[in-house]
Amino acid sequence: MRLLAGLAISTCVVVALWAAPAAAQNIDLGKSVYQTKVQCPLCHGWAGHGVHEDPRAPNGANLRETAMDAEALYVAVQCGLPGTSMPFFDRLAYTDDRCYGMTADAIGDMKPPPGQPVLIKREIDALVAYLMAKVVGRGEPSEEECVEFFGADNNRCTDFAAMGAGGAGGGDPAANH
């Protein structure tokens, strides 16, 4: 009996040691998807704080204050948000009823625009993991988060403390554009 208990504990330790790097890799992939592949900061801001990086882009939701859980975020990325400019990133969205139980015909004019490029399930999972770990519920962006996002050798975070989040693409959007 003790042997089985010891084996179970050893197995849990091995799984935990294996899962930690895998989770970190998933978050790294999610950051890459957020930052470069689909360029979420254009609408949501570098910190997900709803202050878009491109004045031509629509204002995205403040993901730091969202009430969405991981499942709702997954659906929002996969299917977009009907009636808004939040695009869908699943290439099969609205070809069947996987999105909100509706096809393109059923949703009509409320169908969100397609996002480019499309994402596979693993990328959406990673993006959601990144958002849940680094963005959702985090409050105002910090200088440390700015450095983590852009890297230590960047100009965006240098005057962060003096300028507030506005020095790094936050705060008053009119002051940045």
Which residues lie closer than 8 Å to 117 by C-beta, 6 or more apart?
37, 38, 89
- Clarify whether residues 10 and 83 are in a common domain: yes
Comparing 26-35, 136-145, 165-174, which segment has the lowest mean pLDDT? 165-174
Domain range enclosing 28: 2-37+68-139
- Clarify whether residues 175 and 97 are in a common domain: no
- Residue 15's pLDDT is 42
Residue 58: inside a domain: no
- Clarify whether residues 135 and 145 are in a common domain: no
- Residue 61's pLDDT is 95
Tally the residues of the chain. 177
What is the C-alpha end-to-end distance of the chain, expressed in Å? 68
Number of domains in the chain: 2
- Residue-wise pLDDT for 93-138, tens only, equals 999 999 999 999 999 999 999 999 999 999 999 999 999 999 999 9
- Residue-wise pLDDT for 27-73, tens only, equals 999 999 999 999 999 999 999 999 988 899 999 999 999 999 999 99
pTM for the whole structure: 0.79
- Clarify whether residues 108 and 155 are in a common domain: no
Residue 62: inside a domain: no
- Residue 166's pLDDT is 47
Of the pLDDT bands very low, low, confident and very high (cuts 50, 70, 90), residue 156 is confident
Of the pLDDT bands very low, low, confident and very high (cuts 50, 70, 90), residue 7 is very low
CA distances in angstroms from 89 to 59, 123, 161, listed in the order given: 18, 10, 36
- Residue 25's pLDDT is 84
35 vs 15: CA distance, rounded Å: 30
Handedness of CA 17, 22, 25, 30 (dihedral sign): negative
Give the tokens for residue 163.
Answer: 């300028």
- Clarify whether residues 112 and 162 are in a common domain: no
> Residue type for 57, please?
A
Residue 59: inside a domain: no
- Clarify whether residues 93 and 22 are in a common domain: yes
- Clarify whether residues 49 and 109 are in a common domain: no
